Structure 1
Amino acid sequence: MNHTVYSAMPNPAASHTSESHRAWLGKVRQPMSAGLLHAVLIAYTILALFPIALVIMNSLKSREAIFDDPLALPTAQTLSWIGYDKVLSKANVWLYFGNSSTVTVVSLFCIVLFGAMAAWALTEYKLRINRWLMLYLAFGIMVPIRLGTVSILSLMVKLELVNTLTALVLVYTAQSLPLAVMILSEFIQQIPKELKEAARCDGVGEFRIFFQIILPLIRPAVATVAVFTMIPVWNDLWFPLILAPSDQTQTITLGVQQFLGQFVTDWNAVLAALSLAVLPVLVLYMAFSRQLIKGLTSGAVK
């Protein structure tokens, strides 16, 4: 009887050993999980950057070298600038760059300004219609704008905006506003109410509160919206081809198409033009990367 009771009692030494074993396993698993996560992220980075590196490498090689070994780096024998010479001399590349830059910058300005103002209104002023407006914006995110291409083209024809950059700015602003409002609304809701109430008690108007207090505090969110919006606008081919296909309003993405032929394609010029089109996006992304990371990780750690 005593033996049975003794065997049923817990063993402090065994319990301490199991706890130590679990702690040791936890310490081992943490570096392993972190190493696996870093390996996956590095692999994804290589996978994402490989096509860009491949385009830039082949843009610096002769046509024969491109087809002989597209994965090889340019050498003294294969190095060639003929693609860039053709692009910069025969095509209106600077005009296309100017059109793309104008459309992108103006669209980003309108998206950020109107998106922030709409997000401020929806979060600060509680109205019955707010829920329906948020549902309407959700539909704007879920439904692709390209489904309304025929109606958009008809509207632009009536407004006499075909072959103008204004048509592209209006379309891109309407396309990106729902997502911008959703993102900015979440950030504005995290701003303490006491900060806004203190400003109102000091006699600060609503416009000054918005431009001098709210906008500076949501800079990471603004950078996130800008990056997410900039890349689709800069790389878009659909609406420039439909709404602004003339020689004076072509964007850089549409201008590259003139080097693509049905029977003969000038791959040197195509790759050089694509390389020139990618560089501004990479530079802007690197410039806003810190604010983008802050915007994506905001609220993850308290």
Structure 2
Amino acid sequence: MSVDIKTTARSQVTFRAIAAHAILITYTLIALFPVFVIVINSFKSRKAIFREPLSVPTPETFSLKGYETVLKQGDFVLYFQNSLVVTVASLTMVLLFGAMAAFALSEYRFRGNLLTGLYLAIGIMIPIRLGTVAILEMMVASGLVNTLTALILVYTAQGLPLAIFILTEFMQGISDDLKNAGRIDGLSEYTIFGVLVLPLIRPALATVAVFTMIPIWNDLWFPLILAPAEETKTITLGAQVFIGQFVTDWNAVLASLSLAIIPVLVLYLIFSRQLIKGITAGAVK
């Protein structure tokens, strides 16, 4: 009888895991379809884009005019570099400070622990864009307008609430016996955090990294307000050069967007296994 119960339980866990993976793959395909449309149209002539937007390029419709325009007009390499610097620096600070705050909230019990966690999670419910005017005034007073530092600080503040919320939940599931054993062996709290805890929450870190990077990389609002200068433009803001009030160079727009997608896809491929583990962690319990 016990064997049948164990077999049934394992079957249920396996079914839930398969169902979770199937749902994730389905959502991924749905999300990638617009990306597929953008990429194939970036290699077509202007007439073919509007006549057959869902068809793949043919020898008659194939064109590299958009990519030629992107490389000739504007400093696309600089825009790409600015976006890369801002995104990598912001992700590093979000993951580092978010993990440290999550470790403190999940590990130590002190007066105001719950209120502190709720305060840090408020940013999930209140969009940071509501404070755009105040943020702009602060950057002007600090002399950080038209600098990448301004964008890094804003994006770090934007990503920390979600990072702390997710990482705290994962860290609470780590065995206390493991951490106490490290303390008995004489390990410091920093060593326990860096050597014992962080490797165990890699799926959560990958999940936070992916979902934090995409809004930063694709953002147009804060680069337009805080860093609109030519030397600090991001790739998303730089693509607006090809969008005019009366005429839009769709070949160049689609080409620039296709190039901008590359880092997001690379990051997804790097962290895909950990990302799936992080998203489906609750499905296999």
The match for 1:48 is 31
1:279 aligns with 2:262: yes
In structure 2, what residue type is equivalent to 1:152? I
In structure 1, what residue type is equivalent to 2:103? W
Shifted more, 279-288 versus 174-183: the winner is: 279-288
Secondary structure of the residue aligned to 1:91 is: coil
The match for 1:148 is 131
2:89 to 106, 116, 121: 106
Please report how far the alpha carbon of residue 89 of structure 1 lies from its aligned counterpart in structure 2 after TM superposition: 1.9
Counting only pairs closer than 5 Å after superposition, residues 227-242 of structure 1 correspond to structure 2 as 227-242=210-225
CA contact (8 A) 2:21 2:280 kept: no
1:133 aligns with 2:121: no
In structure 2, C-alpha distance between the alignment counterparts of 1:293 and 1:179, rounded to whole Å: 18
In structure 1, what residue type is equivalent to 2:91? L
Compared CA separation, residues 135 and 45, structure 1 to 2 (3 A): closer
The match for 2:12 is none
Please report how far the alpha carbon of residue 46 of structure 1 lies from its aligned counterpart in structure 2 after TM superposition: 4.3
Compared CA separation, residues 176 and 204, structure 1 to 2 (3 A): same
2:41 to 49, 52, 58: 58
Please report how far the alpha carbon of residue 72 of structure 1 lies from its aligned counterpart in structure 2 after TM superposition: 2.0
In structure 2, C-alpha distance between the alignment counterparts of 1:301 and 1:236, rounded to whole Å: 34
TM-superposition CA deviations, 1:140-186 (whole Å, max 9, x none): 11000000000000000000000000000100110110110111111
1:71 aligns with 2:54: yes
TM-superposition CA deviations, 1:92-133 (whole Å, max 9, x none): 111011000000000000000000000111111101111111
In structure 2, what residue type is equivalent to 1:91? G
Counting only pairs closer than 5 Å after superposition, residues 286-301 of structure 1 correspond to structure 2 as 286-301=269-284
1:121 to 86, 95, 104: 104
In structure 2, C-alpha distance between the alignment counterparts of 1:279 and 1:34, rounded to whole Å: 29
TM-score where L is the length of structure 2? 0.90
In structure 1, C-alpha distance between the alignment counterparts of 2:264 and 2:24, rounded to whole Å: 21
Please report how far the alpha carbon of residue 264 of structure 1 lies from its aligned counterpart in structure 2 after TM superposition: 1.0
Larger Rg: 1
In structure 2, C-alpha distance between the alignment counterparts of 1:294 and 1:208, rounded to whole Å: 25
The match for 2:156 is 173
TM-superposition CA deviations, 1:47-97 (whole Å, max 9, x none): 322211111111101112212222221111111111101101222111011
In structure 2, what residue type is equivalent to 1:64? K
1:255 aligns with 2:238: yes
Number of aligned residues = 270
In structure 1, what residue type is equivalent to 2:154? V
In structure 2, what residue type is equivalent to 1:173? T
1:201 aligns with 2:177: no
Please report how far the alpha carbon of residue 250 of structure 1 lies from its aligned counterpart in structure 2 after TM superposition: 0.4
CA RMSD of aligned residues (A): 2.0
Compared CA separation, residues 230 and 43, structure 1 to 2 (3 A): closer
CA contact (8 A) 2:38 2:258 kept: yes
In structure 2, C-alpha distance between the alignment counterparts of 1:45 and 1:226, rounded to whole Å: 17
Please report how far the alpha carbon of residue 266 of structure 1 lies from its aligned counterpart in structure 2 after TM superposition: 0.7
The match for 1:192 is 175
CA contact (8 A) 2:95 2:205 kept: yes
Compared CA separation, residues 82 and 181, structure 1 to 2 (3 A): same
In structure 1, what residue type is equivalent to 2:160? L
Q: Point out where structure 1 has 5 or more consecutive residues left out of the alignment.
A: 1-32
Select the structure with the greater relative contact order (CA < 8 A; seq sep ≥ 6).
Answer: 2
1:161 aligns with 2:161: no
In structure 2, what residue type is equivalent to 1:139? I
Secondary structure of the residue aligned to 1:74 is: coil
